[in-house]
């Protein structure tokens, strides 16, 4: 089935812009990105959009559709009724470059702030031995495609530009969790996750989990476990006592 769909697409740049109305053909089985491409081909050849794989694996086509952070290539047109106006805007947490393309360098800056994987010094590459049970938990986090939709939706930075300096965002708090839970990482990341990366600002309201196209349980499996580790180290006299007495390895 084909129909003429009504679209509102944000066009502009950092200096200003507006939603532009379009009427465009929509065919059965298409996704929003197909329609954006048809707009480029037929009506708006200079419409800027970032995309690569069209398979939900490269994380390039992040945008907001009807106000919801989503991948353009993974949003089927069939979720909308034919008479519904579909509004497409760029991600609204990052500076816009042009049309649907934003500058996501905040995320790369935050990635660089995390100390990299630190294996024991006496262990040469090639000698790493880990059991599956020990790496299983952090493997979930490695499904991340770095679409930054979680970063875009997180109200800590979305609604408070000033927090960008002190908050790494869910994707990178999860990266710290991945390293902290890694059986061969020897660096202590608990103080850092609270003081440098701003975990305390997360109020576990789970929007990151809601929008993650990989279905990663960011809040339950990365952020809350890290909050509990922070509580161990900072706010739990019993754990402190137990550690001082036993000194057993974790």
Partner 1 sequence: MTTTARGVDARGRAQVGARNLRTDRWWLPPAATTVGLLIFLVYGGARAFQQQYFFADERYLTPFYSPCVSLGCASEPGSAHFGMFLPDHPLIPYAALSLPFLLGFRLTCYYYRKAYYRSFWLAPAACAVPEPHAAYTGETRFPLILQNSHRYFFYVAVIVSLVNTYDAIVAFRHPTDGFVVGVGNLVLLVNVALLWCYTVSCHSCRHVMGGRLTHFSKHPVRYWLWTKISALNTRHMLFAWITLGTLILTDLYVMLVARGTITDLRLIG
Indicate the pairing of strand 16-27 with strand 2-13.
antiparallel
Judged by CB under 8 A, the residue of 78, 113, 234, 241 near partner 1 is 234
Separation in Å, CA 120 to CA 125, 171, 246: 10, 25, 22
Separation in Å, CA 232 to CA 183, 229, 236: 19, 5, 5
Within a 10 A sphere around the Cβ of 93, how many other Cβ atoms? 24
Does 49 participate in binding ligand SF4 (rule CB under 6 A)?
Answer: no
Does 155 participate in binding partner 1 (rule CB under 8 A)?
Answer: yes
Within a 10 A sphere around the Cβ of 125, how many other Cβ atoms? 6
Judged by CB under 6 A, the residue of 30, 140, 214, 236 near ligand SF4 is 214
64 binds, among partner 1, ligand SF4, none (CB under 5 to 8 A by kind): partner 1
Choose between 55 and 215: whose C-beta lies nearer to partner 1.
215
CA angle 11, 16, 21 (to 5 degrees): 30
Does 220 participate in binding partner 1 (rule CB under 8 A)?
Answer: yes
Does 189 participate in binding partner 1 (rule CB under 8 A)?
Answer: no
Site string for partner 1, 67-86 (x = CB under 8 A): xxx--------------x--
- How many of the chain's residues bind partner 1 (CB under 8 A)? 64
């Amino acid at each position: 089935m084909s129909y003429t769909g009504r679209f509102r697409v944000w066009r502009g740049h950092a200096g200003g812009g507006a939603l532009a109305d379009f009427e465009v053909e929509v065919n059965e089985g298409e996704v929003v990105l197909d329609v954006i491409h048809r707009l480029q081909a037929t009506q708006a050849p200079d419409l800027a959009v970032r995309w690569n794989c069209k398979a939900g694996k490269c994380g390039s086509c992040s945008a907001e559709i009807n106000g919801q952070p989503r991948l353009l290539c993974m949003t089927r047109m069939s979720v909308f009724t034919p008479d519904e106006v579909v509004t497409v805007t760029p991600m609204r947490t990052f500076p816009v470059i042009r049309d649907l393309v934003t500058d996501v360098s905040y995320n790369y800056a935050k990635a660089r702030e995390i100390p990299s994987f630190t294996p024991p010094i006496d262990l040469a590459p090639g000698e790493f031995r880990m059991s599956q049970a020990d790496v299983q938990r952090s493997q979930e986090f490695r499904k991340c495609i770095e679409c930054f939709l979680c970063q875009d939706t997180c109200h800590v930075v979305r609604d408070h530009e000033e927090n960008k300096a002190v908050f790494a965002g869910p994707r990178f708090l999860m990266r710290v969790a991945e390293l902290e839970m890694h059986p061969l990482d020897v660096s202590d990341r608990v103080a850092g996750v609270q003081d440098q990366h701003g975990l305390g600002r997360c109020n576990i309201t789970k929007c990151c989990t809601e929008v993650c196209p990989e279905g990663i349980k960011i809040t339950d499996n990365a952020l809350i476990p890290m909050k509990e580790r922070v509580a161990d180290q900072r706010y739990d006299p019993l754990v402190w006592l137990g550690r001082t007495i036993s000194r057993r390895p974790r």
